[in-house]
């Protein structure tokens, strides 16, 4: 039995009235009609339970005195089976014991004495339903919050993974880009070597040597890279020169031709300036033929005005050029080349650079004694030949000192196959693919303190605790350098010319 009185659009509370007296049920129905409720009625507790099994009910109002099953028993069963349904007992004054039982066992919301006051009963029902609604709403919101938290957790996990994936992608892209850049520089270096003809391998040897000197002088990873790149590309300005000018030592050429060859330093800078990553390397390239005493080219600058990278590159470049015969009119032995450089220490070359270079080359010469025979299939990029390699027919194929690259490896494999003669290449044992290695910039352990001093307070013998840069960005002096009168005087001159104060970090021994 149902009586729907709720407006169609409004959410409807469903009420069940249970009484064995039809007049009471009718009175209740009349009272709640038209107030937005859906009303169900039952004539006994049994009928009420049957209806509850079929319908979703929000509130039950039951009479106390009924045959078979009284209101207390009925409401107790309702509480046991449908605890969320609000329960109200209609009772007379004399039924105190049964009412107490309904309160205790049926956990009723409240009891209403008969005869009831319509207004009060209406308010009681509304309050019971409001309480029920609050409980439902609370449970709904708790569940919603729990679900949203779960979703948030999943979203967060996804987001973290996305960020991690994106970071990894960016890192890889960055590394790829860096590698492509180095590969491009390497390719240009190969082109220069092709153009150099008999000087093949010169750029790589110079680059490798110069970078090692830079490392020994304590330059940081970025400065070392600039020196390395400048070493690989230092003669790029020669690419457009005619063969006759490249094949002879500069000193053997007539003055006009000499001038043309000497233009390669400035031209090299111009060629590289367009690449932002090569700005500092380009400056080093420009000055790699400057001499410490100001007798070099293209600008004839002296001392600290020459970027440190260029002072390093000058020594490495000349050491190789002396041995290949492109600097003097004859080929020097390594020993003669070293003697030349020592003789020019403090004149043509920076003494600090010469000292670092000599220590390095001294060690390398010792290592060079050790060589190993390697078959073409076992060659690796970056290996250096310790002996000239002859073609099976007897003519020279690769010069001593040649750095192995992919082209060399492929060519030797092809040659071995076509001539059916095993080829043995002698390789410097210590050599590996060092030319393009990138080193992490690790700060040196500090066992000492430092003070920052203006140029006016510098004294001879003081040692630099940090690299000193010119205002223009290029490196003037490497940390570990000792100051002498000439250096202090030059710093003063640079300060005066640039009208900007220079601060020098000086090492103070902690012990
Ligand atoms: Fe050069």
Tens digit of each residue's pLDDT (9 = 90 or more) over 373-383: 888 888 887 78
Report how far residue 370's alpha carbon sits from residue 365's, in angstroms, rounded to the nearest whole number.
9
CATH architecture classification, 444-511: Alpha-Beta Complex (3.90)
Report how far residue 201's alpha carbon sits from residue 210's, in angstroms, rounded to the nearest whole number.
14
Question: Taken in order 18, 24, 30, 32, is the CA torsion positive or negative?
Answer: negative
Per-residue confidence (pLDDT) for residue 250, from 0 to 100: 73
What separation in Å is there between the alpha carbon of 264 and the centre of ligand 1? 7
CATH architecture classification, 2-116: 3-Layer(aba) Sandwich (3.40)
What separation in Å is there between the alpha carbon of 244 and the centre of ligand 1? 16
What separation in Å is there between the alpha carbon of 296 and the centre of ligand 1? 11
What separation in Å is there between the alpha carbon of 207 and the centre of ligand 1? 12
What separation in Å is there between the alpha carbon of 286 and the centre of ligand 1? 9
pLDDT tens digit string along 149-192? 999 999 998 899 999 999 999 998 888 888 788 778 877 887 77
At residue 104 the predicted structure's pLDDT band, cuts being 50, 70 and 90, is confident
Domain ranges of the chain: 2-116, 371-429, 444-511
At residue 305 the predicted structure's pLDDT band, cuts being 50, 70 and 90, is very high
At residue 439 the predicted structure's pLDDT band, cuts being 50, 70 and 90, is very low
Per-residue confidence (pLDDT) for residue 198, from 0 to 100: 52
Report how far residue 293's alpha carbon sits from residue 176's, in angstroms, rounded to the nearest whole number.
43
What separation in Å is there between the alpha carbon of 196 and the centre of ligand 1? 11
Per-residue confidence (pLDDT) for residue 289, from 0 to 100: 95
For residue 394, give both structure tokens: 């007897």
Instruction: Output 429 or 257, whichever has higher pLDDT.
Output: 257
What separation in Å is there between the alpha carbon of 327 and the centre of ligand 1? 10
Exposure b/e, 90-112, CB count within 10 A at least 16 = b: bbeeebeebbebbbeebebbebb
What separation in Å is there between the alpha carbon of 445 and the centre of ligand 1? 37
| Mean pLDDT, residues 291-302 | 93
With residue 468 as reference, give the H or E element that holds it.
strand 468-469
Instruction: Output 81 or 94, whichever has higher pLDDT.
Output: 81
From residue 8, give the alpha-carbon distance in Å to each of 13, 35, 41. 12, 12, 20
What separation in Å is there between the alpha carbon of 298 and the centre of ligand 1? 11
Report how far residue 105's alpha carbon sits from residue 73's, in angstroms, rounded to the nearest whole number.
8
Report how far residue 459's alpha carbon sits from residue 506's, in angstroms, rounded to the nearest whole number.
10
Question: Is residue 123 helix, strand or coil?
Answer: helix
What separation in Å is there between the alpha carbon of 429 and the centre of ligand 1? 29
Exposure b/e, 389-425, CB count within 10 A at least 16 = b: beeeeeeebbbebbbbbeebbeebeeebeeeeeebeb
Across 280-289, 292-301, 360-369, least confident range = 360-369
What separation in Å is there between the alpha carbon of 315 and the centre of ligand 1? 11
What is the Cα 197 distance to its own chain's centre?
A: 41
Using alpha carbons, select from 372, 374, 377 the residue that is nearest to residue 414: 377
From residue 202, give the alpha-carbon distance in Å to each of 192, 323, 384, 410, 486. 9, 10, 12, 20, 33
Per-residue confidence (pLDDT) for residue 265, from 0 to 100: 93
What separation in Å is there between the alpha carbon of 90 and the centre of ligand 1? 112
CATH class, range 371-429: alpha beta
Instruction: Output 92 or 502, whichever has higher pLDDT.
Output: 502
What separation in Å is there between the alpha carbon of 265 and the centre of ligand 1? 6
Per-residue confidence (pLDDT) for residue 247, from 0 to 100: 72
| Mean pLDDT, residues 335-346 | 92
What separation in Å is there between the alpha carbon of 143 and the centre of ligand 1? 77
Instruction: Output 185 or 86, whichever has higher pLDDT.
Output: 86
What separation in Å is there between the alpha carbon of 134 and the centre of ligand 1? 88
**C-beta separation of 278 from 229 below 8 A:** yes
**C-beta separation of 239 from 189 below 8 A:** no
At residue 395 the predicted structure's pLDDT band, cuts being 50, 70 and 90, is low
| Mean pLDDT, residues 44-52 | 96
What separation in Å is there between the alpha carbon of 133 and the centre of ligand 1? 90
Peptide bond into 424 cis (omega under 30): no
Report how far residue 1's alpha carbon sits from residue 43's, in angstroms, rounded to the nearest whole number.
10
At residue 47 the predicted structure's pLDDT band, cuts being 50, 70 and 90, is very high
Across 38-47, 277-286, 467-476, least confident range = 467-476
Report how far residue 318's alpha carbon sits from residue 315's, in angstroms, rounded to the nearest whole number.
5
With residue 390 as reference, give the H or E element that holds it.
strand 389-390
Using alpha carbons, select from 316, 111, 101 the residue that is nearest to residue 230: 316
What separation in Å is there between the alpha carbon of 41 and the centre of ligand 1? 108
* Domains 371-429 and 444-511 agree in fold: yes
Per-residue confidence (pLDDT) for residue 365, from 0 to 100: 62
Using alpha carbons, select from 472, 478, 486, 469 the residue that is nearest to residue 507: 478
What separation in Å is there between the alpha carbon of 393 and the centre of ligand 1? 34
- Mapping DSSP onto H, E and C, the string for 180-237 reads HHHHHHHHHHHHHHHHHHHHCCHHHHHHHHHHHHHHHCCCCHHHHHHHHHHHHHCCHH
Per-residue confidence (pLDDT) for residue 280, from 0 to 100: 92
Using alpha carbons, select from 289, 216, 203 the residue that is nearest to residue 444: 216
| Whole-model pTM over 0.75 | no
What separation in Å is there between the alpha carbon of 336 and the centre of ligand 1? 20
| Mean pLDDT, residues 490-494 | 89
At residue 447 the predicted structure's pLDDT band, cuts being 50, 70 and 90, is low
What separation in Å is there between the alpha carbon of 235 and the centre of ligand 1? 5
Peptide bond into 298 cis (omega under 30): yes
What separation in Å is there between the alpha carbon of 318 and the centre of ligand 1? 9
Per-residue confidence (pLDDT) for residue 398, from 0 to 100: 81
Per-residue confidence (pLDDT) for residue 127, from 0 to 100: 92
- Judged against a pLDDT cut of 90, whether residue 148 lies above it is answered with yes
What separation in Å is there between the alpha carbon of 229 and the centre of ligand 1? 14
List CB contacts of 489: < 8 A, sequence separation 6 or more. none
What separation in Å is there between the alpha carbon of 491 and the centre of ligand 1? 27
- Judged against a pLDDT cut of 80, whether residue 41 lies above it is answered with yes
**C-beta separation of 71 from 64 below 8 A:** yes
Across 5-19, 68-82, 310-324, least confident range = 5-19
Phi first, then psi: give them for residue 472, nearest 5 degrees.
-80, -10
What separation in Å is there between the alpha carbon of 313 and the centre of ligand 1? 10
Across 114-128, 153-167, 185-199, 309-323, least confident range = 185-199
What separation in Å is there between the alpha carbon of 503 and the centre of ligand 1? 33
Question: Among all chains, which residue has been given the structure tokens 């070392």?
Answer: 224
Question: Among all chains, which residue has been given the structure tokens 């940090």?
Answer: 466
Sheet hosting strand 110-113, strand order edge to edge: 2-4, 37-42, 13-18, 59-63, 86-91, 110-113
**C-beta separation of 196 from 234 below 8 A:** no
């Amino acid at each position: 039995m149902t009586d729907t009185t709720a407006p169609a659009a409004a959410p409807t509370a469903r009420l069940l009235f249970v009484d064995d007296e039809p007049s009471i049920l009718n009175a209740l129905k009349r009272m709640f009609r038209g107030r937005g409720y859906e009303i169900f009625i039952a004539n006994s507790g049994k009928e009420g339970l049957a209806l509850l099994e079929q319908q979703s009910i929000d509130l039950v109002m039951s009479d106390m005195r009924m045959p078979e099953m009284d209101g207390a028993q009925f409401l107790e069963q309702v509480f046991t089976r449908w605890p969320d349904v609000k329960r109200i007992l209609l009772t007379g004054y004399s039924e105190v014991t049964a009412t107490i039982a309904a309160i205790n066992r049926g956990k009723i919301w409240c009891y209403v004495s008969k005869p009831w006051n319509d207004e009060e009963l209406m308010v009681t029902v509304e309050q019971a339903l409001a309480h029920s609604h609050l409980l439902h709403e609370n449970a709904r919101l708790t569940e919603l919050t729990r679900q949203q938290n779960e979703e948030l957790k999943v979203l967060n996990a996804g987001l973290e993974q996305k960020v991690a994936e994106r970071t990894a992608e960016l890192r890889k892209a960055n590394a790829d880009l860096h590698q492509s850049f180095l590969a491009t520089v390497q390719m240009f270096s190969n082109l220069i070597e092709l153009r150099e003809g008999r000087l093949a391998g010169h750029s790589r040897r110079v680059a490798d040597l110069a970078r090692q000197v830079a490392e020994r002088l304590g330059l940081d990873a970025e400065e070392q890279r600039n020196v390395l790149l400048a070493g690989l590309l230092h003669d790029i300005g020669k690419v457009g020169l005619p063969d006759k000018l490249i094949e002879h030592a500069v000193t053997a050429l007539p003055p006009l031709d000499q001038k043309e060859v000497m233009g390669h330093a400035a031209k090299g800078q111009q060629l590289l300036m367009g690449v932002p990553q090569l700005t500092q390397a380009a400056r080093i390239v420009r000055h790699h033929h400057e001499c410490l005493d100001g007798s070099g080219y293209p600008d004839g600058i002296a001392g600290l005005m020459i970027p440190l990278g260029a002072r390093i590159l000058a020594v490495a470049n000349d050491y190789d050029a002396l041995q290949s015969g492109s600097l003097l009119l004859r080929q020097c032995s390594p020993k003669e080349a070293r003697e030349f450089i020592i003789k020019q220490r403090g004149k043509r070359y920076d003494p600090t650079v010469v000292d670092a270079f000599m220590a390095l080359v001294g060690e390398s010469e010792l290592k060079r004694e050790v060589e190993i025979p390697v078959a073409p299939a076992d060659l690796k990029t970056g290996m250096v030949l310790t002996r000239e390699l002859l073609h099976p027919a007897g003519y020279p194929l690769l010069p001593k000192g040649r750095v192995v690259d992919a082209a060399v490896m492929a060519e030797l494999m092809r040659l071995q196959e076509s001539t059916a003669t095993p080829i043995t290449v002698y390789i410097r044992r210590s050599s590996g693919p060092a030319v393009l290695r990138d080193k992490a910039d690790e700060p040196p352990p500090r066992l000492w303190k430092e003070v920052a001093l203006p140029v006016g307070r510098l004294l001879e013998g003081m040692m630099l605790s940090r690299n000193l840069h010119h205002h223009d960005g290029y490196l003037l002096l490497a940390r570990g350098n000792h100051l002498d009168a000439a250096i202090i005087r030059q710093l003063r001159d640079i300060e005066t010319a640039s009208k900007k104060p220079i601060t020098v970090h000086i090492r103070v021994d902690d012990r």
